[in-house]
Structures are given as C-alpha cells and as structure tokens.
C-alpha cells in the first residue's frame, strides 16, 4: 500500500475512532526533524474532521511553509512560561514533539527535554486539555533485559547514552507525577529516519565502530507521524505508553550499505547485547491499530522514501 493510500486509511480510521468534537491541536517542535515531517500530514488528517493545527516555534520564518498550509503559528520559546501560555490558550490536544538532541549543551537539553516538557504538561492540565501526547525515546529502557523492552519496564537509561536519554526518562517521570490531572499518552520512538533526514548518514559516526551484527531499532518518519496522530485521536487510551519502531532493526552492516559504504567486517564473536534498544510494538498494534507502513529501512529504500 502506498503512503498516500495508507494516509487516507489512517485519517479515516482515526476520524471514526475519535469523538465527533473538533479540536485545536498544539504542536511543539514543529520545525524540527520530527515536527517538520509530522505537521503537514497532521494538517491533512486533522482537516478531515474539521480540526485545526497550531504550532509554537522560536523562529516564525522557519514555519512559513506550515503557515501556507493553514497552520496557526505562535512565535515563542517553549522554555518561557508566557509563550507557553499563549500557545496553550484554547488548545484541546497537545503534541509535545520538541526535543534537544545532539550538538547542544547539557543545560539546554535538560531545559527543553525535561523542564519545559513538565512545565508544559502542568500548564496544559490547568488549561483543561483533553489529551497530552509526549514523545520520548526507546533509550529510556537501558540495557540488559535479555528481550525486547515493553512499556511497563523500569526506566534505566545507560549513563553512556548521555543527557538525551536521561532527560527524556526524567521528563516522563515528571509528567507521570501529575497523575490524573494530566490526560497523558507517551510515545517512545526508536531511531527516526527517512524523507531526507540525515540521521542514517550520521549514524556512521558511532556505528562505524560496531561489530557488523550489532542492531539498531529504527522507525520511519511516516510511521512516526501515523503513531502520533493515533495517540492524539484514539479515545480511551489516557495514561498509556506505546513503543513505535520498524518490524526489522538495522545491523551495522545494513547502516553501512544504506549509506553506500562497506563495513570493514568484524569477528562474529564480538560482544554486544542483541536486545539493546529493541522494543515490542504489540501495544501500539493492539490499541492504536498502528503498524509500520515501512516495516524495514530496506522497504523504505525500495519505495524511494529515504
């Protein structure tokens, strides 16, 4: 099934599943890697039910293309309370996609990934939002499970993975601490790729040192968008968490091949945890009706979607 056909099916399914009431959907991080690929799809899907999309961005100029799609653009900083208040005014659903990932100071990562996320959640609860969807990462699980991680596993990110994983885990804890006050849904993403995203190429900065058989859990942007839309629109899932990832991980050998490189090879006995980063997506399939349009990066490559 093509993405266009699957998009129509996704919109129809979500529209049928949700309440008839239209919504104003606030998205943070709309000009980032995930947000910039999510929002145009969200505009189409939300438009099918008469809902509207608003974004909070630091640079309104970078959101010009979104404004041309009919998106309401609020210029402001997620870390500023007054800007969050303006963005939240009248919002029914929040998709918190903003994240400080690589190449930023640790203080910035903590401020965006944890502090601003929890503050936004607290203020969204007071504003009476109907759904708060928070994007997290599969890195919150850590190592040593001996199997794919499931949503109820303890959050124990490995310190070697740095502040990003730690700040995302603490953000989840802070949002959960708000209890029933916040109608929270958490979506934990694997390593995101596709649609011209340079992530796969950037992976060679560290995967170049992996044994050829070490595996990376990944998920395509198109499937991230579909999962977030369902997390925002499917009724009766408040308080739930969902892992989202491709059916097939990529080995270090695959990462080299997809980037036009040849892995130098390694001993088959080179040590690594075969379950590191791997997650079960059974809950998202069962409760959201989600499954990947691109079950593997090789399928995305064949479809010209990298």
Secondary structure (DSSP) of 279-304: B--HHHHHHH----SSSSHHHHHHTT
The pLDDT tens digits for 149-183 are 999 999 999 998 999 999 999 999 999 999 999 99
User: In order of start, what are the domains of the chain with their CATH numbers?
Assistant: 3-192+220-244+280-292 (3.40.50.720)
pTM for the full model?
0.92
pLDDT value for 19: 38
Contact between 35 and 224 (Cβ < 8 Å):
no
Q: Is 31 a residue whose pLDDT tops 50?
A: yes
Cα separation values, 196 from 33, 109, 138, 152, Å: 10, 24, 22, 33
Query: Whole-angstrom Cα distance, residue 154 to residue 47?
Result: 38
Pick from 125-129, 208-212, 222-226, 302-306: least confident: 208-212
Q: Is 277 a residue whose pLDDT tops 80?
A: yes
pLDDT value for 233: 96
Contact between 218 and 194 (Cβ < 8 Å):
no
Cα separation values, 155 from 145, 152, 227, Å: 11, 9, 21
Contact between 282 and 237 (Cβ < 8 Å):
no
The pLDDT tens digits for 249-276 are 999 999 999 999 999 887 777 778 889 9
Query: Whole-angstrom Cα distance, residue 291 to residue 31?
Result: 25
pLDDT value for 52: 96
- In a 3-state reduction of DSSP, which class is residue 236? coil
- pLDDT-derived band at 20, boundaries 50, 70, 90: very low
Query: Whole-angstrom Cα distance, residue 97 to residue 151?
Result: 19
Query: Whole-angstrom Cα distance, residue 264 to residue 209?
Result: 10
For the chain, what percent of residues have pLDDT higher than 90? 84
Query: Whole-angstrom Cα distance, residue 186 to residue 14?
Result: 18
The pLDDT tens digits for 93-150 are 999 999 998 789 999 999 999 999 999 999 999 999 999 999 999 999 989 999 999 9
What torsion, rounded to 10 degrees, do the Cα atoms 121, 122, 123, 126 define? 120
Question: How large is the average pLDDT for residues 32-43?
Answer: 97
Q: Is 45 a residue whose pLDDT tops 50?
A: yes
pLDDT value for 250: 97
């Amino acid at each position: 099934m093509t993405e266009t056909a699957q998009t129509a099916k996704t919109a129809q399914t979500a529209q049928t599943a949700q309440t008839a009431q239209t919504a104003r959907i606030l998205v943070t991080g709309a000009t980032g890697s995930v947000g910039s690929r999510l929002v145009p799809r969200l505009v189409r899907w939300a438009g099918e039910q008469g809902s509207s999309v608003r974004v909070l961005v630091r640079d309104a100029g970078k959101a010009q293309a979104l404004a041309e799609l009919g998106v309401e653009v609020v210029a402001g900083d997620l870390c500023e309370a007054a800007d969050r208040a303006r963005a939240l005014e009248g919002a029914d659903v929040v998709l918190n996609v903003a994240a400080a990932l690589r190449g930023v100071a640790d203080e910035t990562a903590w401020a965006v990934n944890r502090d601003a996320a929890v503050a936004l959640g607290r203020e969204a609860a007071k504003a009476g939002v109907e759904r708060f969807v928070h994007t997290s990462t599969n890195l919150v699980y850590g190592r040593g499970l001996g199997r794919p991680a499931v949503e109820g596993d303890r959050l124990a990110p490995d310190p070697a993975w740095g502040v990003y994983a730690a700040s995302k885990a603490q953000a989840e804890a802070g949002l959960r601490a708000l209890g029933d006050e916040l109608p929270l849904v958490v979506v934990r993403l694997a390593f995101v790729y596709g649609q011209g995203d340079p992530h796969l190429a950037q992976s060679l900065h560290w995967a170049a040192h992996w044994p050829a058989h070490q595996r990376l859990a990944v998920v395509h942007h198109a499937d991230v968008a579909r999962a977030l839309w369902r997390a925002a629109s499917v009724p009766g899932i408040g308080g739930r968490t969902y892992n989202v990832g491709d059916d097939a991980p990529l080995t270090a050998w695959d990462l080299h091949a997809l980037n036009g490189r040849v892995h130098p090879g390694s001993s088959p006995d080179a040590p690594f945890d075969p379950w590191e980063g791997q997650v079960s997506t059974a809950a998202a399939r069962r409760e959201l009706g989600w499954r990947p349009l691109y079950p593997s990066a090789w399928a995305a490559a064949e479809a010209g979607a990298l």
